[in-house]
């Protein structure tokens, strides 16, 4: 666990991370309901890669044929990455700087709005080095069997694809060891709610202490 960084102008910046199928989206929704403003990195990536997205020209140059008429051919991109795994790191080199740029803009706007708690919902928080922006980090965790069941139940990937994604991500134990808080979602939603409320109460208590 890292030591807590100094708070930035009264605003707590909280990183939220977790592997695929760990329940991070659910925890993010809970934090939003408790008043946190959320930066959703997945939504940003989807927009960057969506029709006319500003990442598409660079992706098209990297993977010829993956972008047609301003639209990403995701199947063609997946085939290219399977054929050449080194492309994955190159794609990250295109996307991560753009996500970081939008994250900084989000933080500036949140400070102007005097938001007490903001959450950076970033699956690859540690891998991208974006934990450096955070005062605290929450890792969302679930048992491996639960994780795989959740992802397979979505019906979008087969087991081999799921295992390949998990293998590329940081090990859950490493993520939990580095985080300030761990939210476990494998037992019940009610238990996850209690954990999330406890983390938010801790953040608010730290704010109150800092203002006295």
134-161 pLDDT, tens digit each: 999 999 999 999 999 999 999 877 888 8
Average pLDDT across each block of 10 residues of the chain; the chain has 212 residues. List them in order. Answer: 51 94 93 95 94 94 92 89 87 93 96 94 91 95 92 86 86 95 91 94 76 48
User: Do the domain assignments include residue 160?
Assistant: yes
Domains of the chain: total:
1
| pLDDT tens sequence across 99-109 | 999 999 999 99
23 in a labelled binding site: yes
- pLDDT value at residue 205: 78
- The answer as to whether 86 is a domain residue is no
Whether residue 75 lies inside any domain: the answer is no
pTM: 0.86
* Helix or strand holding residue 112 (H, E): helix 86-112
What span, in angstroms and rounded, lies between the C-alpha atoms of 106 and 51?
22
Which residues, including other chains, have CB under 8 Å from residue 143's CB and lie 6 or more apart?
186
CB 31 within 8 Å of CB 16: yes
Q: Which two tokens stand for residue 190?
A: 């009610």
2 belongs to a structural domain: no
Q: Which residues form the domain of 105? A: 12-48+95-210
Q: Is residue 137, in this structure, part of any structural domain at all?
A: yes
Give the strand order in the sheet containing 37-40.
Answer: 37-40, 117-121, 12-17, 136-141, 181-184
Specify if 23 maps to a domain: yes
pLDDT the model gives residue 187 = 84
Query: Does 58 map to a domain?
Result: no
163 in a structural domain: yes
pLDDT score, position 131:
95
185 in a labelled binding site:
no
The domain spanning residue 122 has which CATH number? 3.40.50.300
């Amino acid at each position: 666990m890292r030591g807590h960084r100094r708070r930035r102008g009264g605003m707590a910046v909280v990183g939220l991370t977790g592997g695929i199928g760990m329940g991070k989206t659910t925890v993010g929704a809970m934090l939003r309901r408790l008043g946190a403003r959320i930066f959703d990195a997945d939504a940003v990536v989807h927009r960057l890669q969506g029709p006319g997205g500003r990442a598409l020209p660079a992706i098209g140059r990297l993977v010829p044929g993956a972008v047609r008429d301003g639209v990403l051919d995701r199947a063609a991109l997946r085939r290219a990455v399977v054929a050449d795994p080194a492309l994955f790191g190159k794609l990250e080199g295109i996307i991560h700087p753009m996500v970081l740029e939008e994250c900084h803009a989000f933080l500036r706007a949140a400070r102007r709005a005097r938001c007490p708690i903001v959450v950076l919902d970033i699956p690859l928080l540690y891998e991208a080095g974006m934990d450096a922006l955070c005062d605290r980090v929450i890792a969302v965790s679930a048992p491996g069997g639960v994780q795989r069941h959740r992802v397979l139940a979505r019906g979008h990937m087969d087991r081999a694809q799921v295992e390949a994604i998990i293998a590329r991500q940081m090990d859950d134990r490493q993520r939990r060891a580095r985080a300030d808080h761990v939210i476990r979602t494998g037992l019940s939603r009610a238990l996850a709610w209690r954990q999330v409320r406890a983390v938010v109460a801790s953040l608010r208590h730290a704010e109150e202490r800092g203002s006295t």
